[in-house]
Amino acid sequence: MSTTFRALIVEENPDGIPNRYIGSHSTDDLPAGDVLIQVAYSGLNYKDALSASIHKGITRSYPHTPGVDASGTVVESNDDEFKPGDRVLVTGYDLGMNTAGGFGEYIRVPADWVVPVPESLDLREAMIFGTAGFTAALSIYRLELHGLTPGGGDVIVTGATGGVGSMGVMMLAASGYRVVASTGKTDQADYLKRLGAAEIIHRDEINDTSGKPLLNRRWAGGIDTVGGNPLARLLAAMEYEGGIAVCGNVASVDFSTTVYPFILRGAALIGINSATTPMPLRRELWKRIASEWKSEHREEMANDVTLEELNDEIERILRGEQRGRVVLGHGR
């Protein structure tokens, strides 16, 4: 049966300026797919804010409903693995980019995008983590594959007050790592310490401008959300065989380095693309999120909002003023 529901709709004005409003959709308007999900919660990510700002590199055509994260319950399914009432989540793939996303009360997606929510997570907790938590989880997983272990030295997290940064700090600390949080928001030091950071440094401390190909060794590993020169300088300061997981570009998409961190110290640059993570690994990581990485401090970063409040949060994240995670509740 067709169901009418509310959604944040983004339209493109003739001048290219976005027009965002809460409107009505029908489930008949949703794209073809195997699983219809009633969305309980979503999370705001920087990619959503870009989609909501008429970024054609993210979303090709408008009107559109963003939201790359969603958790909720299955309403209809033509896939044997999922049945009505199942608690599920979707992050990544094309959700919220060119497929109507979690800022609407219903989504319809292919079955191979859908992850059962682990029993120890409720639907809201799943979206406190969301894409940001999954990206941090994938980063830690890849760093540990490279050889990172607790007790091996300091692990740096850049952009530490953002969604991925906050999650990285919390989840690394929960795994026993000594975490150094880099941020330009020094007034958030107490927040970062509550998440588990052992040390907070100003982002300028890693933005070395000397041009030296190598710096004193300091970092056993790291999660970098900013890119640009700070990333190049982290590479120059890696311990032997250290690795940096790269998952953002807040500072810049460009950086310049030499081969010396790689050929003299064995440094590794580890690219993180969480959107296309294969489903077996995706499920494994969500199980770890629901157990060893489910820190008691997760509520420190949760900011709950309604659909009516979402536009203000989109503007806030675009200005770089967001802290932690914005969790959209659809009121059920």
Residue 80 counted as domain residue: yes
- What CATH number is associated with residue 77? 3.90.180.10
Domain final position from 238, 258, 274: 274
**332: pLDDT strictly greater than 60:** no
Residue 204 and residue 259 share a domain: yes
What is the rounded average pLDDT for all residues in the chain? 95
- Given pLDDT bands bounded at 50, 70 and 90, which one contains residue 149? very high
Q: Which residues pair with 329 in a beta bridge?
A: 41
Residue 101 counted as domain residue: yes
Residue 259 and residue 200 share a domain: yes
Residue 263 and residue 177 share a domain: yes
Lookup: tokens for 229: 């020169």
**290: pLDDT strictly greater than 80:** yes
What does the pLDDT average to over 202-221? 94
pLDDT of residue 322: 85
317 in Cβ contact with 44 (< 8 Å): yes
Residue 154 and residue 93 share a domain: no
305-328 pLDDT per residue, tens = 999 999 999 999 999 888 999 999
253-267 pLDDT per residue, tens = 899 999 999 999 999
pLDDT of residue 316: 93
Q: For residue 36, give the nearest of 78, 6, 67 by alpha carbon.
A: 78
Residue 125 counted as domain residue: no
Phi, psi of 2 (to 5 degrees): -75, 140
Residue 111 and residue 139 share a domain: no
What does the pLDDT average to over 19-24? 96
Residue 93 and residue 151 share a domain: no
Contacts of 127 (CB under 8 A, 6+ apart): 41, 42, 43, 69, 70, 71, 89, 325, 327, 328
Residue 95 and residue 18 share a domain: yes
What does the pLDDT average to over 123-132? 97
Residue 283 counted as domain residue: no
- Given pLDDT bands bounded at 50, 70 and 90, which one contains residue 16? confident
pLDDT of residue 270: 97
- Given pLDDT bands bounded at 50, 70 and 90, which one contains residue 8? very high
- What CATH number is associated with residue 261? 3.40.50.720
Residue 26 counted as domain residue: yes
| Number of domains observed in the structure of the chain | 2
Residue 110 and residue 49 share a domain: yes
Residue 300: alpha-carbon gap to chain centroid: 16
Q: For residue 327, give the nearest of 318, 310, 257 by alpha carbon.
A: 310
What does the pLDDT average to over 30-36? 95
What does the pLDDT average to over 195-210? 95
pLDDT of residue 250: 82
Residue 124 counted as domain residue: no
**222: pLDDT strictly greater than 80:** yes
**331: pLDDT strictly greater than 90:** no
Peptide bond preceding 63: is omega within 30 degrees of 0, i.e. cis?
Answer: yes
Residue 234 counted as domain residue: yes
What does the pLDDT average to over 195-203? 96
Residue 201 and residue 90 share a domain: no
Residue 152 and residue 92 share a domain: no
Residue 232 counted as domain residue: yes
| Domain residue limits at 31 | 4-117+299-329
Residue 60 and residue 164 share a domain: no
What does the pLDDT average to over 100-128? 97
Residue 100 and residue 214 share a domain: no
pLDDT of residue 292: 93
37-80 pLDDT per residue, tens = 999 999 999 999 999 999 999 999 999 999 999 999 999 999 99
Lookup: tokens for 97: 């980019």
Distance, in Å, from the CA atom of 40 to the CA atom of 179, rounded to the nearest integer, reads 33
